[in-house]
Structure 1
Amino acid sequence: MMALTILILRLAVCILAFPMYLLDFLGLWNWICKQWFPYFLARFTVMYNEQMASKKRELFSNLREFMGPSGKLSLLELGCGTGANFKFYPSGCQVTCVDPNPNFEKFLIKSIAQNPHLQFERFIVAAGENMHQVATGSMDVVVCTLVLCSVKNQEQILQEVRRVLRPVLDPVWYLLFDGCNLTRESWKALEQARFSKLKLQHLQAPLSWELVRPHIYGYAVK
Structure 2
Amino acid sequence: MALVRLLLQFMMEIFVLPVSILQFVGVWDPLYKRFFPYLMFRITAVINDKMGKVKKELFSKLPDFAGSSGLTILEMGCGSGANFQYYPRGCKVICIDPNPNFEHFLEKSRAENEHVKVEKFIVASGEDLSQVATGSVDVVVCTLVLCTVRDIDLVLNEVTRVLRPGGAFFFMEHVVANETTWLHFFQHVIQPAWRYFGDGCYLTRDTWTNLEKANFSELNLTRITAPFKWSLISCHIIGYGVK
Please report the TM-score for the alignment, with normalisation by the length of structure 1.
0.70
Kindly report which structure 2 residues correspond to 1:44-193, keeping only aligned pairs within 5 A, or say none. 44-70=43-69, 72-168=70-166
1:28-69 deviation line (CA, Å, top 9, x unaligned): 111122111101000000011000010000110111111111
| 3-state SS in 1 of match to 2:73 | strand
* Whole-angstrom distance in 2 between the partners of 1:90 and 1:154: 28
| 3-state SS in 2 of match to 1:80 | coil
Equivalent residue letter for 1:133: Q
* Whole-angstrom distance in 1 between the partners of 2:140 and 2:111: 22
| 3-state SS in 2 of match to 1:43 | helix
Aligned residue number for residue 38 of structure 2: 39
* Whole-angstrom distance in 2 between the partners of 1:117 and 1:88: 10
Aligned residue number for residue 174 of structure 1: none
Equivalent residue letter for 2:16: A
Q: What percent of counterpart residues are identical?
A: 52
* Whole-angstrom distance in 1 between the partners of 2:147 and 2:126: 13
Contact 2:34 2:101 in 1 (8 A): yes
Equivalent residue letter for 1:63: L
CA 24–68 in structure 1, closer or farther in 2 if over 3 Å, else same:
same
* Whole-angstrom distance in 1 between the partners of 2:131 and 2:52: 31
Contact 2:136 2:164 in 1 (8 A): yes
| 3-state SS in 2 of match to 1:167 | strand
* Whole-angstrom distance in 1 between the partners of 2:131 and 2:152: 19
> 1:168: Cα distance to partner?
3.6
Structure 1 unmatched runs, 5+? 170-182, 186-222
Contact 2:65 2:166 in 1 (8 A): no
> 1:18: Cα distance to partner?
2.2
| 3-state SS in 2 of match to 1:112 | helix
* Whole-angstrom distance in 1 between the partners of 2:109 and 2:134: 27
| 3-state SS in 1 of match to 2:137 | coil
* Whole-angstrom distance in 2 between the partners of 1:83 and 1:47: 14
* Whole-angstrom distance in 1 between the partners of 2:49 and 2:86: 12
Higher share in strand: 2
CA RMSD of aligned residues (A): 2.3
Larger radius of gyration: 1
CA 81–184 in structure 1, closer or farther in 2 if over 3 Å, else same:
closer
Identify which of structures 1 and 2 has the higher relative contact order when contacts are C-alpha pairs closer than 8 Å and 6+ apart: 2
* Whole-angstrom distance in 1 between the partners of 2:112 and 2:63: 21
Equivalent residue letter for 1:57: K
CA 52–26 in structure 1, closer or farther in 2 if over 3 Å, else same:
same
Structure 2 unmatched runs, 5+? 168-215, 219-243
* Whole-angstrom distance in 2 between the partners of 1:8 and 1:52: 32
* Whole-angstrom distance in 1 between the partners of 2:39 and 2:60: 28
Equivalent residue letter for 2:67: G
* Whole-angstrom distance in 2 between the partners of 1:10 and 1:98: 35
| 3-state SS in 1 of match to 2:121 | strand
| 3-state SS in 1 of match to 2:109 | helix
